[in-house]
Amino acid sequence: MMIRCLLLLWCAALSGGSYGQDQHLPFPVDLSQAHALSLQQPGAVVILFSIPDCTYCEQVRAQSLRHLEKDPAYRGHVRVFELDFTDDRRRVVWFDGQQRTGKAVAQRLDVKFSPTVWVFTPTGGTPAKPLQGAGLPDFYNQYLDELIQQVFRSQ
């Protein structure tokens, strides 16, 4: 019975889950449809590049990212995703429609530090450098807001 429960938990962990309090965003991530955000209004795609069991990643999730899609100022304008940048198995559909692993995406973007937060245009453009590491929530949130506003202005 114990082995069966552990196997079920392991399978659930591999399949991803919904963006809950202690879970990553769902996999597979499909960013090729992100341009739909910008059809009616400016939009931004925020991606947290993380690694498993990263305390600082959880801090960024909890203090800076969880509220973005529900915030009235961003509702319908911002989508938040998370990628494990060490994962070489799960596939992500990137903005260009090509499937890549989290590790391959991170290598293309030169992501080497966890957490790293990139803010993209709905077509995959990156008008600003990413946020690396975790900082004081007030300053971090202000920097994140500035990146999102840069993306809005670039459209």
Q: Is residue 14 part of a domain?
A: no
Q: Tell me the β-bridge partners of 46.
A: 80, 119
Q: Is 93 exposed, middle or buried (CB count within 10 Å of its CB: 0-12, 13-18, 19+)? A: middle
Give, rounded to a whole angstrom, the gap between the first and last alpha carbons of the chain.
55
Q: Is residue 51 part of a domain?
A: yes
DSSP for 14-80? Answer: HH---S-TT-PPPSS-B-TTGGGGGTTS--EEEEEEE-TT-HHHHHHIIIIITTTTTSTTTTTTEEE
Condensed to tens digits (0 to 9), the pLDDT of residues 28-68 reads 577 877 766 555 677 899 999 999 999 999 999 999 998 88
Q: Is residue 142 part of a domain?
A: yes
Condensed to tens digits (0 to 9), the pLDDT of residues 86-144 reads 999 988 889 888 999 999 999 999 999 999 999 999 889 998 899 999 877 778 999 99
Q: Is residue 20 part of a domain?
A: no
Q: Is residue 105 part of a domain?
A: yes
Query: Which CATH number do you get for residue 64?
Result: 3.40.30.10
Nearest residue to 139 (alpha-carbon basis) of 64, 87, 82: 64
Q: Tell me the β-bridge partners of 79.
A: 45
Q: Is residue 9 part of a domain?
A: no
Q: Which domain holds residue 123?
A: 25-154
Q: Is residue 13 part of a domain?
A: no
Q: How many domains does the chain have?
A: 1
Q: Is residue 2 part of a domain?
A: no
